[in-house]
Homo-oligomer: A and B are copies of this chain.
């Protein structure tokens, strides 16, 4: 995972192809800040591959919403 102290943008470009949510192990959200002028979304697939996603893409927003709202919650 990108380090908290990293001093530049992690993503040189973002993935254009849609990734199925089932392939995603976890997603990292990095706010914009002094290190980088844009927010970054880095998905790690279940095969361990890291992929930069476009936070403005509707399908990326949908993946994030799906993760947050999944409700087989055993709370």
User: Could you list which residues of chain A lie within 8 angstroms of chain B, going by C-beta atoms?
Assistant: 1-2, 4, 21, 24-32, 37-39, 41, 44, 46, 48, 55-56, 60-61, 64, 66-70, 72-75
Known A32-B72, A64-B68; further 15 A-B contacts with Cβ < 8 A = A4-B44, A25-B31, A26-B29, A27-B28, A27-B29, A29-B67, A31-B70, A32-B70, A37-B72, A38-B74, A38-B75, A39-B70, A41-B68, A56-B73, A56-B75
Copies in the complex: 2
| CB <8 Å contact, B4 and A37 | no
Q: Known A1-B1, A44-B4, A64-B64; judge A73-B28 contact (CB<8 A).
A: no
User: Within 8 Å CB of A46, what residues of B?
Assistant: 4
